[in-house]
Structure 1
Amino acid sequence: MFIQTEATPNPEVLKFLPGRDVLGEGSRDFRSADEAGASPLAAELFSIEGVERVHFGGDYLTVGKGRDQDWAHLKAPILAAIMDHFTSGQPLFTGEAAGVQTGGHDDEIVYEGETAQVVAEIKELLDTRIRPAVAQDGGDILFNRFEPDTGVVWLHMRGACSGCPSSSATLKSGVENMLKHYVPEVTRVEQAL
């Protein structure tokens, strides 16, 4: 098995491409070892000293390290953990979490009428134009909510995008400009926490 690595715009995050599907659809972000309990691979990665974040995408995963850690010391054990996981045939998730994948849309909020159409247009642009481009850098941008009174779209930054020095520029100049151009009801884009 050959695993490619790629730098991301975030110097604290590396992208790993195992040459096979990781999630296939959607994405999953782990911010702590406690959250990683649902995934043997994520738990193993968090057991490596210095690993602070793990993100699963369609055919890649990203690993975030602490600022005081060096990739020269972390890369080999991370590669070994990924290779061991995929060659062992273990599932990516165990128990109830096995069927859980997040595509990123906040389905708790129900939008109606004209607002529902605006939200559908926003989600369509995110899914077809923005998310595939951001995935190239090992990240993901997920819809959180739309405020029709103010025109503000709230988005979650995941993977390499989360904490990236250039994420606010990506959000403002790239994502905001595209959404405002195609969806005139959008006035601003903000990052949800």
Structure 2
Amino acid sequence: HQNTNIARIICIFTLPRQLYINIDFEGTVQQHFQDLSAWVEEGISPPGGTSHSVENGQVVVRSSASDRKEIQPVVNLAISSEEKAQVAVGETVAFKVHAEVPPGAGKVVHLEWDPIGKGEYQKQDFGKVTSNVEVTIVHTYDTPGTYLPVVRVASHRSGDTETAFGLVFNLGRARVIAKE
């Protein structure tokens, strides 16, 4: 679980204007300590480690939560099954959000999204608290430009929607180019 500590350090030293594109790993660390305590005190094994590979110097993680393992939700934000799209100004864009929590790691409890990519998240209803969430969000871009919409999802081991303790976050990102 060294990677969690490294990621937290990266998050701490990121410029404040960039914090919205990173995630807070405090809840991840809290959950890892709870898992460690359960393992030591009760003999309950923690979730398996993250499956990944290194390709051309880049860490590549598995695309499904059941293959990736660990405790962090897998989040995808897509426009017509792609992570990028070119649209006309004034055109309504439908974004598909898919969030999946690894087996035994909890349920999705929060879903927020920022259609512009400026860190101004809006809470989104996603229905029932479950380990696998799919929702469609629509947005219209009225000004030409390149936008980096992002969805932020949090999971919690027991599915508690009221606590801030032990929330495990991840992001899904896309790119939209709006042209006249």
- Is the pair's TM-score, using the shorter chain for normalization, greater than 0.5? no
Q: Which has the higher contact order (CA 8 A, sep 6+)?
A: 2
Structure with more of its chain in helix, by fraction: 1
